[in-house]
Structure 1
Amino acid sequence: MSDSRLWLTRLSLCIAVAFSSFAATSAHANNAKTTTPQVQQVSFRVTSPDTGRQTVATVSKQDLECLAEALYFEARGEGTQGQRAVAEVILNRVDHPRFPKTVCGVVNQRGQFSYKGRVSPRIHESGAYARVKNVAIAALSGSAPRTLTNGATYFHTGAVRPSWSRRFERTTRIGAHIFYRSDRRLASN
């Protein structure tokens, strides 16, 4: 079994355990009265693919759902590395001053992702969704280092060539996607 599959298997098991304890905790929390709205947090036990060390990571439930949805519709046909690269772009945008400051803000930004059209997309492949959710957890928790795209903030499939691709520096190609960094504009000669 490859290292990435073994890592995903371990992560899936940890997620299953975390969700069962989260369900029990949230049922108890729902009985308590709160007056201030809070961002729902979800905790997971994650294993670093580099060190093998386990840690507990807490992420925003809303950011997790937005990132998993984006990975499902933009990269579910890619391998783990391709999915991690797309997650990296989204998180690079969150850290970039020209983009929204939350994962959901980036994912829902108008005109940025091809699946965000007029028709509301539906998730039909539960196995594929579970795999991209594992990648999203690893990306949000920081257990997957952001080293694949060299700081990319844009990507597209090789099947298209958007006009903006000529203006930005190409950083890499992973699977069907080509990645670009927007901070270094190319000369337009």
Structure 2
Amino acid sequence: MRLRQIWALAACAALATGGAAFADVTVSQSNSPALDIAEQVALLMGAEQETLGAVSASKLAALAQGPKTIKKAGKAETPTVLRYDDGFLAQLPAPKGDAEWQCLQSALYHEARGETLKGQFAVAEVILNRVDSPKYPKSVCGVVNQGSSKGCQFSFVCDGIKDVMREKAAADRAGRIARLMLDGAPRALTEGATHFHTRAVRPGWAHRFPRTAQIGAHLFYRQP
């Protein structure tokens, strides 16, 4: 082992044991002007051997290998590439989550299960864009269930029909989309849209808001 490597390892070992042995020797003796270079090196080597001898073999091995990569605990890592196809969704773990996930899954199922896959992702974008906007509630459930005397923001909430997801395949699909989007998948379809409607209707705000996308049967808009 070369001298530079020995010194580096010894320094690490000294830190691991509190640094006392190495510091005592170098401060009290190696700075003495009466010692020539050879004596100083000998003293350093002796200090290193003494310090290394006080460190366990397992700790020395860990110092030599360096730090290990630590995986963060928590939610599953979102894929860096998002593909809008069912084959991609099928490869993901079975979806699950808390109330926020359930609210988003329900909204996608009841509002957009007849849409294309991109159309369902686009509706998820609208809901999450609203959560990020100061004009709307700060949670998915708050956004989905928001209503007033004029009606609900999402029609399925106020249509008087019990919100049961009877189609298992569609519910699973909506759950996978919801899981991806809540875990940080990119919102790349609607350019920050906060509103959408079907081609069959023309709400008053559609004349005032800029349209950002047209996907399937839905038109998307961003509130100024």
TM-score when normalising by structure 2: 0.58
Range moving further from structure 2, 150-159 or 113-122: 113-122
Q: Which residue of 2 aligns with 1:6?
A: 87
CA contact 2:84–2:118 (8 Å) conserved in 1: no
C-alpha distance in 2 between matches for 1:175 and 1:114: 18
- Which SS does the other structure have where 2:166 is aligned? coil
1:33-182 equivalent positions in 2, closer than 5 A: 42=97, 61-110=98-147, 111-117=152-158, 118-142=160-184, 144-182=185-223
- Which SS does the other structure have where 2:136 is aligned? coil
Cα displacement (A) at 1:7 = 1.1
Cα displacement (A) at 1:178 = 0.3
Larger radius of gyration: 2
C-alpha distance in 2 between matches for 1:120 and 1:9: 28
Higher helix share: 2
C-alpha distance in 1 between matches for 2:195 and 2:167: 26
Q: Which residue of 2 aligns with 1:55?
A: none
Cα displacement (A) at 1:133 = 0.6
Cα displacement (A) at 1:121 = 2.5
C-alpha distance in 2 between matches for 1:138 and 1:161: 31
C-alpha distance in 1 between matches for 2:205 and 2:84: 36
Percent of aligned pairs with the same amino acid: 52
Q: One-letter code of the match for 1:97?
A: P
Cα displacement (A) at 1:3 = 6.5
Q: One-letter code of the match for 1:15?
A: A
Query: Gaps spanning 5+ residues in structure 1: where?
Result: 20-41, 43-60, 184-189
Query: Gaps spanning 5+ residues in structure 2: where?
Result: 1-82
Range moving further from structure 2, 123-132 or 84-93: 123-132
C-alpha distance in 1 between matches for 2:128 and 2:179: 12
Q: One-letter code of the match for 1:109?
A: Q
Q: One-letter code of the match for 1:72?
A: Y
Q: CA RMSD in A?
A: 1.5
Q: How many residues align?
A: 137
- Which SS does the other structure have where 2:94 is aligned? helix
Going from structure 1 to structure 2, the CA distance change for 1:101 and 1:157 (only over 3 Å counts) comes to: same
Q: Which 4+ residue blocks in structure 1 deviate beyond 4 angstroms?
A: none
Cα distance per residue 1:87-134 (max 9 Å; x no partner): 000000000000000000000001200111133322221111111110
CA contact 2:84–2:117 (8 Å) conserved in 1: no
Cα distance per residue 1:125-151 (max 9 Å; x no partner): 111111111000010001x21010000
